[in-house]
Homo-oligomer: A and B are copies of this chain.
Amino acid sequence: MSGETVPLDEALHRVLASDITSNTNIPSADRSAMDGYAVTAEDTFGASETNPVELRITGRVRIGEIPNIKVGRGEAAAVATGSYLPRGEVDAVVMVEYTRVSGDRLQIVKPVVPGQNVAKRGEDVKKGQVVVKKGTRIRPQDIGIIAALGVAEVPVVTRPRVTIISTGDELIDPGERRKEGKIYDINRHIIKAAVLEAGGEPLDLGIVGDNAEDIRTRLKQALASADIVLISAGTSVGERDLVPGILATLGEPGMLVHGISLRPGYPTGLAVVNGKPVVSLPGYPVSNAFAFRVIVRPLLARFLGSDVDTEPTVRARLARRVAAPGGLRTFVRVRLVETGDDESGLVAEPIMASGAGVISSLTQADGLLIIPEDSEGVDEGEEIEVVLLRPLKRKQNEAR
């Protein structure tokens, strides 16, 4: 896990490489939390509309100004929200609404207690306090608190470089002229975007034909330039799956696992070559996407020293029974339908996709039902948890 320093305003969504610890108190000294008058609280005790307390105004503290006036017992100074308290025995602020002024005489009609309307030194952030933790994916509010410390550069984890190769004689790239018998490569383009979303830096090594020597050359190039190597098979995982053999010639230990208990996504290979992870992903786009989700996303999180973000879920009732083969984790794409009779009622309709190649099932799905390895299916009407693939649009949207 290597780090680098970036300007604060470029740190959004990067992963923090070390704790940000406050080198200061915020506020750095007692400040007024209201527009009004700084006083000694005890002087105001008993004040009321009919029996106001009268104090002498000795001056005014402006925002951004270091107070040079001093307030003693029987005295008050005008303050604004955010301005420092004057020196002396002041310990509270009376809101301007509860005062009347005549020349340098201040009448107070409501008492305050010590500390009232005062933001104490260090109340927001204490010196030495960790304000944002290492491993955090930086949000706008994290940038805010780092700015509050005066820090303009932040240590972030360097984005892991992920090389992406697609193999297959049948593949051409979007923008190329359509050719009978050829199909456009989808996987590389989805993966590049998914790597970006997961915090990695995608390096596109293009398409390589089903030729052992070409694949070997491209994999060597990938291993030389990347932290993680992803290679997607051609559409077929049959006769021409040359990758495991090639990896064996490139370094130790080579392919470790070929086939994982995932559906779709079974034909996934996991390899390590001279310390670098290589993931051989299935050619079918849907399988490819789920293998990415289950294997590559956590791998990237590991390189980043962060957690995989928990995804939003909703509860729904399953519209019809879905069978699952025991022993495989099964991903069922579902559409979510809001039922009229129940405000919060959602029904999940499984999308029947005849094959893992049906890319439209990925864009049409609102969410995923994930059936664990030890289950043989989910019954019609059962309440399930659905991982959202897009923000859920409710007919009845609450005020936000």
- Chain A residues with a Cβ under 8 A of chain B: 8-9, 12, 24, 26-28, 33, 35, 62-66, 80-84, 119, 123-125, 131-132, 139-153, 168-176, 178, 180-187, 189-194, 196-197, 204, 234-240, 283, 285, 289, 293-294, 307-313, 329, 354-355, 357-360, 362-363, 370, 372-373, 385, 387-394, 397-400
Contacts and interface: CB of A to CB of B under 8 A. Distances in A.
**Chain A interface mostly:** loop
Given A357-B119, A370-B399, A397-B310, A181 B65 contact: yes
Contact of A398 (B119, B183, B385): B385
Most B Cβ at <10 Å: residue of A141, A186, A388: A141
A63 to B, nearest CB: 5
B174 A150 contact: yes
A393 B148 contact: no
6 contacts: A35-B236, A81-B237, A125-B360, A140-B289, A144-B187, A151-B175
B181 A354 contact: no
Copies of this chain in its oligomeric complex: 2
Nearest to A65: B181
Nearest to A184: B150
A159 to B, nearest CB: 15
A362 B192 contact: no
A176 to B, nearest CB: 7
